[in-house]
Structure 1
């Protein structure tokens, strides 16, 4: 009887709208990558073990993200898994469709090459599919009582905050990590430039969330010292963004053949947009 009640309460129309928003989000957030030459080529030469690891890492990321902003009222992990799978499917469909329309995928190409190009693009597209619900949903529709019934720990807990920053860092980092500019800029920088970039990244992260009063920003509780949020959230958030940047560069073979110093410099460069993405995620998710 309980299952029958759940079927009756399931809003199919709203779920379909969520799917449409998801596809729109996949196209909107991943379109720059669909039109990036480096991403097309990456699908041809990326090490298949690294690609598989990226695809596997994306699964729990999507599940946890869906727990926060699924296509319908997500109140259980089973529903989060469902929405994560749907988001992945939308990412694959959106990637294959756009790459086919613009002539990147053609009949006669080797199947492994086609799969590689679609798989690489499907990761950011699937994240965009879930972000579409958060950013493209109508006001009030997606903030109902059922969604708010999720545990407070999952919504505002420390681990949840760091996770959302990791999502933002990964999403924005994926947009620029495949490009040659990340490496070229790192070769032009001195160690002092790297220090300046790190400080600028941390200050911008902190400013976005706590200083400039963007919608979704956080206010410090009365009596809380100003350095508390910097030490508890901003600095750990930058460490998360730096680690995500390092992983992206390694996955895309950008660190192959580099010595340790130059690899750190390249990671610092990518850490700048990744840190901005991490801060933005705290504001919008």
Structure 2
């Protein structure tokens, strides 16, 4: 087999894995009725910002957690473009196959539905080789990312898990039924679970602060802050913060719990 043929085989294998990753990461949201409505009616400026943020997250994942150990910024940009194309392609294909978009769907609605669904699919495409490639990975690339890179990975994990539950009506209902005491208890529970999971999974550099109070601030508090910031962003994108301040704060705290879990388990997810 020539070197060119081997390279082509590797490329098409990578594309196949990317499509499989996009399917695995994007399929749960594809089956959510709220996502169809959000995609069809979301404000176009919010949708444009959403796509830009998705592209930025995909680039960061390629940079810090991609399957190739040595890459340049240009390589990561190409990988990001490929992941976005795969994510949009898989999302469009599935929506069409299930009859959710078709000849009778307006261009505005079709574009919105595909773009919203493509966000988790694109993340899955970037991470496909990490999740599906045979053999063990020791996470050296993530370890070399540094503290800011670790925070980025936590934010990406928070975004992925929060995005899977934020569109549902149950998130708003839970916040509506909570009392201030429930909200305070959930904040403490989120911090406790995040702290326990971070030190179970293991983040690069945390051993330097083992047993030191700064470790709690550097990873647990920082991670929870990222989880809350991601929650605000996702809820705003989906128009869930348009109610009163009290309802919005409780919704952020509720979504902050799964987002904190995603941040803590980022090393397993990405």
Q: Does TM, scored on the shorter chain, surpass 0.5? A: yes
Distance (whole Å) between structure 1 residues aligned to residue 161 and residue 73 of structure 2: 26
Distance (whole Å) between structure 2 residues aligned to residue 36 and residue 272 of structure 1: 20
Residues 248-263 of structure 1 mapped to structure 2, 5 A cutoff: 248-256=234-242, 258-263=243-248
Residues 176-187 of structure 1 mapped to structure 2, 5 A cutoff: 176-187=165-176
The Cα RMSD (Å) is 2.4
Distance (whole Å) between structure 2 residues aligned to residue 99 and residue 45 of structure 1: 16
Distance (whole Å) between structure 1 residues aligned to residue 16 and residue 69 of structure 2: 16
Distance (whole Å) between structure 2 residues aligned to residue 230 and residue 70 of structure 1: 28
The answer to whether the 8 Å contact 1:91/1:126 transfers is yes
Which contiguous aligned blocks of 4+ residues in structure 1 show a shift greater than 4 angstroms?
71-74, 216-220
Partner of 1:114: 110
The match for 2:225 among 224, 239, 259 is 239
- Secondary structure, counterpart of 1:91 in structure 2: helix
Distance (whole Å) between structure 2 residues aligned to residue 222 and residue 78 of structure 1: 33
The answer to whether the 8 Å contact 1:87/1:126 transfers is yes
Partner of 2:264: 279
Partner of 2:14: 18
Aligned-residue offset at 1:208: 1.2
Aligned-residue offset at 1:74: 4.6
- Secondary structure, counterpart of 1:221 in structure 2: helix
Partner of 1:3: none
Residues 1-285 of structure 1 mapped to structure 2, 5 A cutoff: 11-70=7-66, 72=68, 74-140=70-136, 155-210=144-199, 213-214=200-201, 221=207, 224-256=210-242, 258-285=243-270
Structure 2: any 5+ residue segments left out of the alignment? none
Distance (whole Å) between structure 1 residues aligned to residue 237 and residue 209 of structure 2: 44
Aligned-residue offset at 1:160: 0.4
Aligned-residue offset at 1:89: 0.5
The answer to whether the 8 Å contact 1:242/1:267 transfers is yes
Aligned-residue offset at 1:228: 2.9
**Structure 2-normalised TM-score?**
0.91
Structure 1: any 5+ residue segments left out of the alignment? 1-6
**Structure 1-normalised TM-score?**
0.86
CA offsets 1:13-67 (integer angstroms, 9 cap, x no match): 3332222111111111111101110000111111110010011112221111111
